[in-house]
Amino acid sequence: MTPTPAQQLLEAVQCMAQAGLNKGTSGNASVRLDDGFLITPSGVPVEKLTVGSMVYMDWTGTAEAGKKPSSEWRFHRDVLQARPEVGAVVHCHSMFATTIACMGRNVPPFHYMIATAGGDDIRCAPYALFGTQALSDVAVAALQDRKACLLAHHGMIAVGQQLSQALAIAIEVENLCEQYWRLLQCGEPTLLTPEQMRDVHAQFKGYGQWGK
């Protein structure tokens, strides 16, 4: 039996915690529905979440009665509306992505797997207060033509056609951010050229889930 969207969302946030992408009540995730989206609730530790905890919201930002959605519902809604090919959004405060984000850095093409995020770098959106429309606006801009971005002094967002893909991209971006942080301890790394990245993107078109 195919899991319901609420079951998929619960499994995704449990996987995020197990993978070390989130701790405590940090982070959130959403999945597209026909008439809106389903999102994790505000301030509930992952171990206390249930299928019934998930919050339905329509495209106006109205949540179902008696439930409080994640404070970051605005960028979930706006990303899903701006990107019709995206079916799921995950947000985390993982250690190394957040470290690089707190440096205000884009992650450059030091490794070919940067293409996982859809471009020649992983952009870092400018800082904006959490839970605000301003944060949503800079997140949508940083995600243009991308599958992931960093949020300055905050964390990371990853998107995918399904929750499984968004989660896989988040895990890969966190791995890349760890590698980049370690390289920075030795100085600025040598980068791949635009021509080399062009070849990587061409190769990625037929490479596993990243090419889908």
Active site residues: 72
Instruction: Find the largest Cα–Cα distance for the chain.
Output: 53
Spell out the residues 6+ positions from residue 144 whose beta carbon is closer than 8 angstroms to its own. none
Spatial distance between the Cα atoms of 27 and 70, rounded to a whole number of angstroms: 9
The enclosing H or E element of 212 equals none
Q: Write the DSSP symbol of residue 4.
A: P
- Residue 141 phi/psi, 5-degree rounding, is -65, -45
> What residues contact 149, with CB distance under 8 A and at least 6 apart?
117, 122, 123, 124, 125, 139, 142, 143, 156, 157
Label residues 45-54 b or e (16+ Cβ within 10 Å = b): ebeebeeeeb
Structure tokens at 177: 């951010």
Edge-to-edge, what's the strand order for the sheet holding 36-39?
55-57, 36-39, 28-33, 88-92, 155-160, 148-151, 124-125
**Three-state SS for 46?**
helix
